[in-house]
């Protein structure tokens, strides 16, 4: 086979062919893995729903309220026992998606983080920080939800994650939004008439000082 001359036209032709082949290969891989990824996400979601709910016999069809998705649970006698609410907020590193469980009296049963992109070693502590039974100031499990939970720095009674105040504010904002949606919150925003920090307000608390690097980590305090 005759070797192509090294001309601009031939180089562009070669690059175009390589790009087409690479794109086709990526599309093929995506098609092969998409179903598996979606199945894993669905499995994770179902596991999170079960993990945050009180004991139940049946879960009703999902309800959508703004960005929140509500899964109401009932016992064998069809009595409402609680609900799992999937909610989302803007954290320090990006979107935080979590599942929050409430009992019939609006006490927080449990929560599970579905997605997060917070700073490793700092904001990532949201996974367990707020369910630490040894630290009452951190632990929100068993608390009566009001839609107004805030960190102590903002006058509340919840201890923020050390050097990750923005992540902590965002987390509590999501829990507040979940409570609002479950208790007749606005269908578009998930907010009730009660006043609490919204995900949009969380974004405004960031300052230059909160983004300085401390001990090779990005400090949020």
pLDDT tens per residue across span 188-220: 333 444 333 343 443 443 333 334 333 434 557
Using alpha carbons only, give the angle 214, 216, 221 rounded to the nearest 5 degrees. Answer: 30
d(CA 131, CA 193): 27
Contact of 100 with 113, CB cutoff 8 Å: no
Token pair, residue 117, equals: 């992109």
d(CA 113, CA 45): 10
| pLDDT at residue 28, as a whole number | 74
Q: Of the ranges 33-47, 60-74, 101-115, 191-205, which one carries the lowest mean pLDDT score?
A: 191-205
**Residue of 74, 73, 80, 107 lying closest to 175 (CA atoms):** 107
Q: Where are the domains of the chain?
A: 53-218
Q: Model-level pTM?
A: 0.71
d(CA 1, CA 15): 19
- Summarize pLDDT for 166-177 with one digit per residue, the tens: 999 999 999 999
**Residue of 123, 120, 116, 125 lying closest to 94 (CA atoms):** 116
Indicate whether 62 pLDDT > 70. yes
> Which residues are 98's β-sheet partners?
87, 113
């Amino acid at each position: 086979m005759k070797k192509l001359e090294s001309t601009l036209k031939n180089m562009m032709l070669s690059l175009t062919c390589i790009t087409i082949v690479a794109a086709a290969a990526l599309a093929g891989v995506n098609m092969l893995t998409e179903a598996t990824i979606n199945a894993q996400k669905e499995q994770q979601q179902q596991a999170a729903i079960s993990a945050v709910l009180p004991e139940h016999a049946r879960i009703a069809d999902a309800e959508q309220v703004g960005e929140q998705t509500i899964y109401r649970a009932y016992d064998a006698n069809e009595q409402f026992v609680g609900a799992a609410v999937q909610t989302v907020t803007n954290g320090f590193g990006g979107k935080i998606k979590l599942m929050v469980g409430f009992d019939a009296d609006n006490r927080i049963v449990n929560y599970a983080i579905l997605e997060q992109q917070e700073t490793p070693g700092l904001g990532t502590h949201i996974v367990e920080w707020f369910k630490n039974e040894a630290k009452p100031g951190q632990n929100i499990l068993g608390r009566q939800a009001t839609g107004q939970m805030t960190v102590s720095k903002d006058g509340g009674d919840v201890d923020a994650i050390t050097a990750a105040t923005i992540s902590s504010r965002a987390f509590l904002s999501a829990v507040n939004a979940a409570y609002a949606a479950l208790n007749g919150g606005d269908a578009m925003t998930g907010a009730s008439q009660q006043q609490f920090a919204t995900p949009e307000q969380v974004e405004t608390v960031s300052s230059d000082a909160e983004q300085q690097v401390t001990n090779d980590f990005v400090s949020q305090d």
